[in-house]
Amino acid sequence: MTGVSYLAVAPEIILTAGAVVVLMVDVFARPTSRVHGWLVSATYALVAIAIGFQWRRVDIDGAGVSFGGTLLLNHLSVTVRAILLVAAVLGTAAAWRMLVGLRRRAAEGLALIMVATVGFMLMGASADLVMTFVALEVGSIALYVLAGIMRSSPAGDEAAMKYFLLGAFASAIFIYGGALVYAATGSTNVNEIAAHLSAVHVARPAVLLIGIGLIVVGLGFKVTAAPFHSWAPDVYQGAPSGVVGFMAAVAKIGGFAALINILTGGFERYSGAWGDGLALVAAVSVVLGTLLAIQQSDVRRMLAYSGVAHAGFILTGLAAGLVGSSGVLFYLATYSVMVVGAFAAVTAVSGQTNTGSSFEEYRGLARRSPVVAAVLATLMIAMSGMPLTTGFIGKFQVFTSAWESGYEWLVITGLLASVAAFFFYLRLVVVMYFGGEEGDGTALVVAPSIRWVLVVSAGASVVLGVFPSPLLDVLNRAGG
């Protein structure tokens, strides 16, 4: 089926309608934050129902395409939508106090979160390079505005400008890569490209390979893979802490989903070439991200460089091709929950709008707020890859796929980087529990919405680490 299918875009339609309703209600009724909360909650609930219907349709009728072959409806695209919805729900809750503080502009922030989610959902469902580009811009522009939504913050303005300028440059690289692919194959549709490459022997594939490389570079910027990561530390530090976790999560989910669709769907014949390239980028990311994270004295910048290393671990699984996609999805799902939870903890400690988060602010946190300290310690241990956490399961999945695909050297590099990463993760734990007292020792007051995000993220990181089978079974269907 290549015609119009409203079910194929039902979650995106609902989110877009929800964003419009929130804005219009705010203009004409000037409601309280409670009304905004009910509107957003109803929107997310309807999106969840639509995703359930999509999964059921794929189970009954099988995978399909719609809108002229530009959008996929399969288990992978539905799973990506579900992961993005979870990130949006947690991200909205983590940013809620900040959004309420914006008063008349709270609706703008909520609409931007929903629009960004729409863009990255479309990236995960795209089967065409032009559609991927349009979706990338929809999601990215919303994130640029979110980074600078606190108009009174010079650091936020700087973060938004850096994100915008470098993001525009990366988008140009992506579209140039798409143009080269079109020149080599005569199509921008992923399925048509795969059919062309299977039927025609390309004697001189240089133009095609350069195009693939530029596409990877453009999306590598979004997922903060090294050496395309230079924007991340400054943006993560300068943007309001309430939205940074959401920004970090959805960009990675959308970027990696697009890479899976494009590379495994359109260029499987050249998997050896792009697999080796991804392996090299993965190795640089895990090494550089780990070494730079060790040197940081600010928790936000540490988490930013940690995100670079995690991008490398995910690329490790993606280098294995389609066989590693289920492990990539597991890593994306669990890392997204962890990073939103970690930045929610940063928000609880440093405030919703502050742009700094020194390690000194966490000194003695276990005495000022035992719950926040316990949750943050749990998330740091999970991110480090300790057993009985989702971090360990995720790394085991991607390392196994890479090893079986012949990338033993990459797995060894990842293991060594994981060991080194224990230093900066456990360093924060030591500061919180054994670092003495900071300030006047006043107990930390945590907003209920942030407390909810902390409990959910820490609980999921442990429960799914101990009992990963249900989630892995679902993701194996999506990755298969």
**Range from 120-124, 150-154, 354-358 that averages highest in pLDDT:** 120-124
Q: Is the pLDDT of residue 362 over 60?
A: yes
pLDDT score at 353: 58
pLDDT score at 297: 87
Instruction: Indicate whether 34 belongs to any domain.
Output: yes
Instruction: Indicate whether 2 belongs to any domain.
Output: no
pLDDT score at 204: 77
Q: How far is residue 416's CA from residue 401's CA, in Å, rounded to a whole number? A: 17
The pLDDT tens digits for 146-178 are 988 887 777 778 888 989 999 999 999 999 999
pLDDT score at 88: 96
Average pLDDT over residues 87-109: 88
DSSP 202-224: -S-THHHHHHHHHHHHHHHHHTT
Instruction: Indicate whether 271 belongs to any domain.
Output: yes
Q: How far is residue 1's CA from residue 467's CA, in Å, rounded to a whole number? A: 38
CB atoms within 10 A of CB 480: 11
Using pLDDT thresholds of 50, 70 and 90, give the confidence band for residue 10. very high
Cβ-based burial of 157 (10 A; exposed 0-12, middle 13-18, buried ≥19): middle
Q: Are 66 and 4 a contacting pair, CB within 8 Å?
A: yes
Q: Are 133 and 175 a contacting pair, CB within 8 Å?
A: yes
Instruction: Indicate whether 42 belongs to any domain.
Output: yes
Q: What is the mean pLDDT of the chain?
A: 90
Structure tokens at 288: 């550089």
pLDDT score at 378: 95
Q: Is the pLDDT of residue 105 over 70?
A: yes
Per residue, the 3-state secondary structure of 238-285, as one string, reads HCCHHHHHHHHHHHHHHHHHHHHHHHHHHCHHHHHHHHHHHHHHHHHH
- What is the domain extent for residue 44? 7-479
Q: Is the pLDDT of residue 253 over 60?
A: yes
Q: Is the pLDDT of residue 68 over 60?
A: yes
Q: Is the pLDDT of residue 40 over 90?
A: yes
Q: Is the pLDDT of residue 1 over 80?
A: no
CB atoms within 10 A of CB 124: 25
The pLDDT tens digits for 186-210 are 999 999 999 998 888 776 788 999 9
**Helix boundaries (H) for 74-151:** 75-101, 106-125, 129-147
pLDDT score at 75: 92
Q: How far is residue 293's CA from residue 299's CA, in Å, rounded to a whole number? A: 9
Using pLDDT thresholds of 50, 70 and 90, give the confidence band for residue 467. very high
CB atoms within 10 A of CB 298: 20
Cβ-based burial of 131 (10 A; exposed 0-12, middle 13-18, buried ≥19): buried
pLDDT score at 446: 83
Q: How far is residue 116's CA from residue 250's CA, in Å, rounded to a whole number? A: 8
Q: Is the pLDDT of residue 52 over 90?
A: yes
Report residue 210: phi and psi, to 5°.
-65, -40
Structure tokens at 151: 């108009």
Q: Is the pLDDT of residue 316 over 90?
A: yes
Q: How far is residue 405's CA from residue 394's CA, in Å, rounded to a whole number? A: 17
pLDDT score at 441: 60
pLDDT score at 194: 92
Q: Are 48 and 91 a contacting pair, CB within 8 Å?
A: no
How long is the chain?
Answer: 480
CA Rg value for the chain:
21
Between 355 and 126, the more confident residue is 126
Average pLDDT over residues 222-240: 89
Using pLDDT thresholds of 50, 70 and 90, give the confidence band for residue 480. low
Using pLDDT thresholds of 50, 70 and 90, give the confidence band for residue 262. very high
Q: By percentage, how much of the chain surpasses pLDDT 70? A: 96
Q: Are 349 and 444 a contacting pair, CB within 8 Å?
A: yes
pLDDT score at 106: 86
pLDDT score at 72: 92
Instruction: Indicate whether 415 belongs to any domain.
Output: yes
Q: Is the pLDDT of residue 436 over 70?
A: no
Q: Are 338 and 457 a contacting pair, CB within 8 Å?
A: yes
Q: Is the pLDDT of residue 48 over 60?
A: yes
pLDDT score at 442: 67
Q: Is the pLDDT of residue 220 over 80?
A: yes
Question: C-alpha distances in angstroms, 228 versus 38, 138, 167, 218, 378?
Answer: 39, 20, 10, 9, 29
The pLDDT tens digits for 268-288 are 888 888 999 999 999 999 999
Q: Is the pLDDT of residue 438 over 80?
A: no
- Number of compact structural domains in the chain: 1
- Window from 95-99, 278-282, 313-317 with minimum mean pLDDT: 95-99
pLDDT score at 290: 95
Instruction: Indicate whether 1 belongs to any domain.
Output: no
Q: How far is residue 111's CA from residue 129's CA, in Å, rounded to a whole number? A: 26
